[in-house]
Structures are given as C-alpha cells and as structure tokens.
Amino acid sequence: MLPMANRIAWLGGGTAALVTLSLCAIVQQALLHPQPRQRTAAAPVPAAVRKTPLRTRQPVAVIRLETSVRTVLRRAVLARNTFGTQALGQPHVVLSRIDRAQGWAFGSSAVQPAAGAAELPYASLFIARQTGASWQVALAGARNFPSLLGKAPASVVPRAELPILRKYGATAPPANATATGLMLPWQTGQSWTLEPPQGSVGLRFSGGDGRALAPGDGRLYQVCGMVLLIHPNGLASEFSQLTGGPSVKDGSLVRQGTFLGKASAATSCGQPGSATLGFALLSAGHPLPVDGVQIGGWTLHAPSGAPLFADRAGLRVNAGNPLLNFGTAPAPAAPPAPSSSPSPSVSPSPSSSLLSSPSSANSAGPR
C-alpha cells in the first residue's frame, strides 16, 4: 500500500510540475509576442446629428448680409417693373470683398425672371455697411449708393475703381447715353445674326465665331455666369450665356477686344438658355431701352409694337439677318434721295448679303 501511495504522490508532483511549466510557457509567449488589441467599432453617427466643421460654416453676419441684399434686390426689381408681372426667381449674391473688422462689404447680385420668360437676367452691384446686427444695403442707381461708396474703406472699394463705380451708380444716366461709343461685342469686320429680341431691353446674337469680345474698355465684374463690364462713361455692358471667360478678379481693368467667353447654351443665374449671346446695356443701374442706341456703327430701332431693326446710312437690317460690326466708326451720312425719284425702300433686299461680307466692311471703312 505504501509503495502505491508513493507512486501517486510522485505522479501528482510530476503533473503539477508539467502544469507549472505549461503556464510559464504561455506567459512567456504572451510577453514575447503580444496579440494586437481588438477594438470595438464605434457606432456610426447619424447624418442628422453630424456637425459641420466650423471652417465651412458661414458667420451669422454674412448670412444676414446675403439675406438683406436679396430682399433689397427683389424690392428694386419689383418697383422698377423690370420683369412686368412675371414671378421672380431666387436672387443670387456674390460677395467680392468683405471687411468684417470694419463692417463693410461689396459685391454683385442678379435676379432671373420666371422660368421660360423672354427677359434676360438682371444684374447689379451693391455696397453694404453693417450697423449693429443688421446691414444697410445700397444697389447701384440708388440715392445712397454714391455716398456709401465714398465712405467705404479701400479694402472693400479700391480707390482705382471708385470713379467708374460712381458714374455707373449715379441716379441719372450720362448725357446722350444712347451714343455709346462701343463696338458690337465681336470681332470688327465680322457678322453675327441679329436675333429677334427677348424683352424690351436685351439683345441676342448668334453665329460668327462665337467669341464674345469687350465692346469697349472697362472694369469687369461677374455673377453666376454673367459678366458686367462698366465703361468709363458710366454705361455697362451685360453678357449672359457665356462660358470659358477669363479668370480675373472683380474690378479688373480690361481693354476693348478682350475675350470674355464663348456664346453657349450655358445656364446664367439658374436660367436655361439657347446657344446665343445675351447682351444688354445698363445705365445708372437700370437697363437701357434698345430703341435709339448707337453701337458698332449702327443705330438700333425698336419702336413699340414694331419689329427690331438696325439702320446705317439708309441701309436697314431686320432681326434674323447678319449684322456687320463696324467697330466704333460712326455711320456716314445717308446720301439725299433725288427729288424726282420715289423714296428708296426702307429694307432693300441686297442689304443683308452686302453687310455680311467683310469686303463691304472694308469699303465702308470700319476701324
């Protein structure tokens, strides 16, 4: 019996020794080769609870400014009856410059008519001054626009732009505004088709090489795909349906003939368009009626209830026909008709083909 007990004790001791050695090996393995820690995946944060990073959020003051500009612009367009009884689209606002420390801002804005309307979008410039939690906004052409321009810091209205902005923002148009001194907005000696008008203040052109050029020197401002070019006399050219224009800062000085973009069916301020160039003239912040405007060597006529046409020294081009750009050369005086012969037809049939030819432009002496 005793030998058996001794054997059991020996076996028990051996088993304990084996267990101890196994435990030591496991501990050593864990110390030498630690296993990577498994992390519990965090539950996804619902989109509704996610917070936008602070750097992408607009300050409250900027949001209030944009709201104020939209309100003032809508009121001005409605008061001027720019689009008649049509419903207005959502105004677009572009802040070109803002000085938060001094509480001043400058930019451009535009409002489009209702979808499918014939009018071109209406663009304007604004100056704004912060007073407490609100903003005082003045559009070009408003009475307080020139005074606010003069008080604004140079960080918002550079002094080089001040004279031309004052002329554009005056409450009255310049003397003899219809004598624009501008060329048509394409290459001199080239013909584009004068399209039937869309609205009472805008023109549309198509054809040519599609390249829209600055009709005169001026300072350039852009808003939602539109170009506003303010000329030294205070008139402004407004372009829509352009793509691929120059990447320049607002207020940059451009020269006559500078490429402004290609005519296309691009959307301007949310307004779908056709592959034509939309063109209008603005004076004192208001659209200038087409009738009587002298541009590109022509005088435009848009009598009430009658079709649009262009006249040059007795030659007439109706809408739907090519119109040759004579640059800024004034039209020669029409030769007097012989007293014994009947008056010539207002719209001679050869005029359209004659004026679309570059050789006829050279004979007439364009610039």
Are the CB atoms for 302 and 291 separated by under 8 Å?
yes
Whole-angstrom distance, CA of residue 233 vs CA of residue 283: 10
Q: Sketch out the chain's domains with CATH numbers.
A: 59-168 (no CATH), 191-333+344-364 (2.70.70.10)
Are the CB atoms for 280 and 293 separated by under 8 Å?
no
Give me the pLDDT at residue 253, please.
95
Q: Give the contacts of 24 (CB within 8 A, at least 6 positions apart).
A: none
Give me the pLDDT at residue 345, please.
41
**Which amino acid, one-letter code, is at 249?**
K
Question: H/E element holding 353?
Answer: helix 351-355
3-class state of residue 279 by DSSP: strand
CA distances from 163 to 15, 146, 167, 305, 316 (A): 103, 10, 6, 39, 38
Helix residue spans in 179-266 (DSSP H): none
For 167-199, the pLDDT digits (tens) are 998 877 777 788 999 999 999 999 999 998 766
Give me the pLDDT at residue 13, please.
54
State both tokens at 171. Answer: 């409450």
State both tokens at 353. Answer: 């083909």
For 239-294, the pLDDT digits (tens) are 987 888 888 899 999 999 999 998 877 665 655 566 788 899 988 778 888 899 99
User: What predicted TM-score, i.e. pTM, was given to this entire model?
Assistant: 0.73
Are the CB atoms for 228 and 155 separated by under 8 Å?
no
Q: What are phi and psi of 77, to 5 degrees?
A: -65, -40
State both tokens at 268. Answer: 């301007």
Q: Provide the 10 A C-beta neighbour count for residue 126.
A: 29
Residues of the chain with pLDDT under 70: 1-58, 80-88, 114-119, 198-201, 266-274, 333-367
Mean pLDDT across the chain, nearest whole number?
A: 77
